Structure 1
Amino acid sequence: MGNEGSNIFLLILFGSLLTLLMAGFIVTMVLIHRSRQIKNKQKLESLKAEFEKTILNVEKEIQEETLNHVGRELHDNIGQLLSLTKLTLNSTKDDKVYEGKLLINQVIKEVRTLSKTLNLDWVETVDLETFIRKELDKLEQLEFCKIEFETKGELQDFENSRKLVLIRVIQECLNNAIKHAKPKLIRVDLNFISEHLEVLITDNGIGFDTTKESNGSGMHNLKSRMKTIGGTIEIDSNLGKGTQIKLLLPN
């Protein structure tokens, strides 16, 4: 009888300990889960803040470039047209008056075009293929180097904020090639793949050592920007053998 009582007591004690262990395990798992949730939330908030900061920086840079462009256009283009219009309208000849009216219409058209560039609404209406073609057309018109451009796959569009950052990254890559690479050829491949977008920017310029710190800061900035929109950038360059930059952005 005493043994049975002892056995029952041990079973109760063992059950109680097991229950406490199970309760402790559950509480620990709940605390770990909540801790992970908090960390994930903080990480998401940090990424969101970084993304918003990147967007603001990109918008600021593009707006500054736009204002510089507007200033040049006002001085070199519209200012010249207005001066020419004034001289033309000062004449009493009928054909000069008609010519002056045509010049005024041209000035109005130029001003409307400039007004569109003062905001970033164009990001919503432009697609990547059109944007890249325009950027490459500028180089071709300047006869800077030979240009090649090819697209593959079905055209896709992205959220405006992501597209804006991607546009800025592509601009920076092209600008770096123009400033530093001394290429005879710049080629851009725009590949719309089912899972992601791939942009290849290739030049046959002088190349550079990707391990050097002097070249690292700019590239770090590009990598950081691609990261904020969920993309990646891969850079393959060797001295004397040109550079290829691969941008990958999931759909």
Structure 2
Amino acid sequence: MTRFLLRRLLWFAITMFVVMSVSFVLMRSVKGGPFDQDRNVEPAIEQNLKKKYHLDWPMWKQFLHYVGPVNLDERGPFGDGEHSGEKTFGGVLSGDFGPSFRYRDYTVNDIIGQSLPISALLGIVAMMWALALGISTGIASALRRGSGLDLAMRLAATGGIALPNFVIAGFLIICFVFLIPLFPVAGWGSIRTMILPGFCLGLVFAAYISRLTRTGMLEALSQEHIRTAHAKGLSPRTVVMRHALKGGLLPVV
């Protein structure tokens, strides 16, 4: 188990490094820069800004500076005599993503720190919706195999996977914000503002979980020990909750 986890962590680190490297090279290969949209910036000022943020360096040097701290002293291996004594940011490996080119006086860490708690909370709400809807509909579909309910659940799961989130979000806003004003159209900070976005984000995952749960439950219900439990006179609810559900949820886990 330990070797498996270590192998997974190693591949995760390698994958993240490759993605980071490719993204960096692609962004630097595109024509233009972060200050091109500022129409009132004079060429001399733009050149000074590029020197300040080390955008005038070669790409390989920028990448090393982005990954980890680079000695900017003129005596260092990467010094150029123009940035001597400057304090550089720590680099990605130290958790420091440097200054933001778009928002003045903000670092990338500041922006992530402001947005990450909201994104994490919204993700938790979406996952709760996905598990609740996916598991319940998957169980109901498996128990009513071949019925109209089963067909409706499978069609709903297919629609949830096929339809993009912005289409579902627009439909939900029209229904539950304008036609039936149950939720606010925007904002954050209360439970009412979390329900609709979380529900919309969780629908896609709920569709996948529903399919997995249905498949797992159908396989679990066909096992010999389930037939034995029925033969002993146990109620259908007891058979499902105590015996079939454990094996049926394995694909979801």
Q: TM-score, normalised by structure 1?
A: 0.27
Structure having the larger proportion of residues in strand: 1
* Rg comparison, structure with higher value: 1
Q: TM-score, normalised by structure 2?
A: 0.27
